[in-house]
Amino acid sequence: MKNILIVKTGAAGDVLRTTFVLKTLSKKYNVYWLTDPAYISLINSNLAHIHIDIDTLTNTYFETIYSLEEEPKLLFDIQTKLNFENLVGCFYSNGIVKYSADNTEWFDMSMVSKYGIERANELKLKNTKTFQELMSPIFKLNFNGQCYNELNYDVNDSIVRGDIAIANQAGNKWPNKNWAYYDELKTELEIRGYTVNFLPNRPTVKEHVSDIASHKLIICGDSLPMHIATALKVPSIALFTCTSPVEIYDYELITKIVSERLNEFYYQREFNEFCIKSISVTEVLTELNM
C-alpha cells in the first residue's frame, strides 16, 4: 500500500475530530500522522504510524501529504524536508500561507482564508455543513457517520468518578466558552441527588480521557471534553456561546444548547461577560428534564 501523511498537530479537539477519517483511509493506505507529543494518545496507533518529529519522516515517500496546519515554519519544513508526490491543504509560498484542494470550503473559513478573517467568519456563520462534511472531500471520502477513532484508557487512572462530569474550563484562547454558571449548575444537580465532579486539570490527555470515561454524562462547552466523550460514546450536553454548533456532528450523543446571542459574539476572542451569561442554568436543567 502507498503511504500518506496527515499533518494535524493541534489543537487537541481538532486532532481528535479529524480521526474520523482513519478507519477508512487505513484500509487503502499506510497512514502516517504528524502531531504534537501531548496528543499521541488521541490517535489510535493501530490505524496510523504516529510521529512527533518531522525529521523521522524524511526517509519515507508519501503519495499525498494532507497539510492541515497553518504555521509557516512547519509548512516550510514539510515542503523542504519530506518526499511526496502531492500536497493537499496548506503550503508556504513567497512568505504567505496558501492552500490548495479539490474542495476548499474548510480553508476558506479558516485563519488563512484567501478572503481574510472577517469574510471567513461570515462564511462560517452562513455555513450549514458539519466539520466532517467539510473535511471529507479534502480526503476524497464520503461522510457516512464515521466516528472518531477509539481511545485507549484505564478507568483505574481516574481520580474522579460519578454521574456527571462538568468541564468548567475552556482555556484562554476562547474565554467566552467559559460559561458563567457552572458552579450554580453543580449545586442544583447535587441537590437533585447526582454525584457531580468538575473535571480536574491532568498531566496527560490519557488521564483526562479516563476521568471522562468514569462518568455517565458530560456537561461542557465546545471543547476537547465534548470530543473525548463522543469518542468514548458518552453522552454530553454542550453549550455554544461563541462558536459554530452547525460544525459539530452530534452522533446522537451530543445535545447542543445554543445561545440566543450566538451571532452577536460569533468567534469573538475578547472576553465578554454578557456572552458567558447568555445561556441560563434553567436552559441546561430543561435539557436534563429537571
Contact 214, 131 (CB under 8 A): no
Q: Mark out the alpha helices in the chain (DSSP H runs).
A: 12-18, 22-25, 72-81, 105-108, 117-126, 131-135, 182-191, 205-213, 224-232, 273-276, 281-287
Exposure string (b/e) for 211-243, b if CB count within 10 Å is 16 or more? bbbbbebbbbbbbbbbbbbbbbebbbbbbbbbb
* 62 sits in which H/E element: strand 61-67
d(CA 18, CA 119) in angstroms, rounded, equals: 24
CB contact set of 132 (below 8 Å; sequence gap of 6+): 17, 20, 143, 146, 249
At residue 55, does pLDDT exceed 70? yes
Q: How far apart are alpha carbons 280 and 212 in whole angstroms?
A: 24
Homologous superfamily (CATH) for 155-287: Glycogen Phosphorylase B; (3.40.50.2000)
Q: What pLDDT is stored for residue 197 in this prediction?
A: 98
- State which fold the 3-139 domain adopts: Rossmann fold (3.40.50)
DSSP-derived secondary structure letter, 290: -
Q: Is 34 helix (H, G, I), strand (E, B) or coil?
A: strand
What is the C-alpha separation between 280 and 264, in angstroms, rounded? 17
- Listed in sequence order, the residues at least 6 apart from 23 whose beta carbon sits closer than 8 Å to its beta carbon are 47, 146, 149
Q: How confident is the model at residue 172 (pLDDT cuts 50, 70, 90)?
A: confident
Q: What is the pLDDT of residues 117-142, one digit of tens each?
A: 999 999 999 999 999 999 999 999 99
Q: What is the pLDDT of residues 5-29, one digit of tens each?
A: 999 998 999 999 999 999 999 999 9
Between helices 205-213 and 224-232, what is the axis angle to 10°?
A: 60
pTM, rounded to two decimals: 0.95
Q: Cα(108)–Cα(89) distance, rounded to whole angstroms?
A: 11
- Outline which parts of the chain fall under CATH 3.40.50.2000: 155-287
Question: Residue 50's pLDDT is what?
Answer: 98
Q: What is the pLDDT of residues 182-212, one digit of tens each?
A: 999 999 999 999 999 999 999 999 999 999 9
Which of 42, 45, 49 is CA-nearest to residue 16? 42
Instruction: Assess whether pLDDT exceeds 80 at residue 171.
Output: no
pLDDT attached to residue 290: 64
